[in-house]
Amino acid sequence: MSVPTLLDLAKLDAGVGYPIIEESVKSAPELRVVPASTILGTTMELTVRTGLPSMAFRDANQGVPRSKSRYETKTFQTHILDHQIAVDEQIVNGAKDRGRLLENHVGGVMESAMQYVGSQFYYGTGHDAKGFPGLLAQYAADPDHTVDAGGATNKTSVWFLKLGPECLEFLFGNGRTIGLNDTWDLETVYDDDGNPYKAYTNWMSGRVGLRLANRNCAVRIKNVEESGANKKTLHDGLLYAAYEKFTEFGMEPTHIFMNGRSREQVRSGRTATNPAGNPAPLPTEWEGIPIIRSASIVNSEA
């Protein structure tokens, strides 16, 4: 099933600057891969089934206990992401191609925004307290959804995720994605010392949230350590353990997110166990599940 991402939504939003987003999301795989939806307003309420009715066989002329599903209502909030772009009027007036100059400034801002949202995706309010809750806050941090690699220093995580509107997706509020104003304004701005000058200004703005609609759509391998003697590094055994936890709930992961250090640990581990001693290639998938390498997953988790 094909689901829209931020890039697909941007194509439909004439004011957002689709080519700029297309270039910027290359540095943020989360916004390139994770599905996205726009919503009216800034919040979404979702009724989630948290338990199934009980079942029982019975003898003839015997009843069974009445039961029903259990539900809870979750509210998902989008949060304001905002940045003013200001380009000195004299620089713009002296440019051979004013449009390209302004586009270059916008490109840098958009790339930074994509990376910032990518970090928020995992760490949530631990990354920016005014932003949306990330995976660490939304996933079920219990033994059924977590594999502990046992590391103690320079730790990182690996995430098994099932992406989709019924599982995990980005939300963009007020019916639009991250965008720009249609026009640039010439106004007075101030330098770091409070001195005024004329500049062309625009605003990059949007409301961004994350919705983990089903907690069984995320399993985390935590406390993956750096390489070295007796270190708790990532290997196929940990990946299989996470997969077994994921499939225990009748789910199949669609993607595995990890950083470059973790991916190299898998590769080097396979080289070490290769009887021929030939270097193993960098894995791009595991058991047919795509591996998404992300620099947003840090090597210094608490």
Residue 302 lies in a domain: no
Residue 65 lies in a domain: no
Residue range 205-247, pLDDT digits in tens: 999 999 999 999 999 999 999 988 888 999 999 999 999 999 9
* Range with lowest mean pLDDT among 8-17, 90-99, 111-120, 264-273: 8-17
Residue 233 lies in a domain: yes
Residue 149 lies in a domain: yes
3-state secondary structure of 124: helix
How many Å from the N-terminal Cα to the C-terminal Cα in the chain? 36
* Mean of all residue pLDDT scores within the chain: 92
Q: Under a CB-based contact definition with an 8 Å cutoff, are residues 172 and 37 in contact?
A: yes
Domain boundaries, position 246: 6-50+70-293
Per-residue pLDDT, 205 = 94
Domain CATH for 139: 3.30.2400.10
The angle at the Cα of 16, spanning 10 to 22, to the nearest 5 degrees, equals: 55
Residue 56 lies in a domain: no
Residue 254 lies in a domain: yes
Q: How many domains does the chain have?
A: 1
Residue 299 lies in a domain: no
Residue 28 lies in a domain: yes
Number of neighbouring beta carbons within 10 Å of residue 82: 11
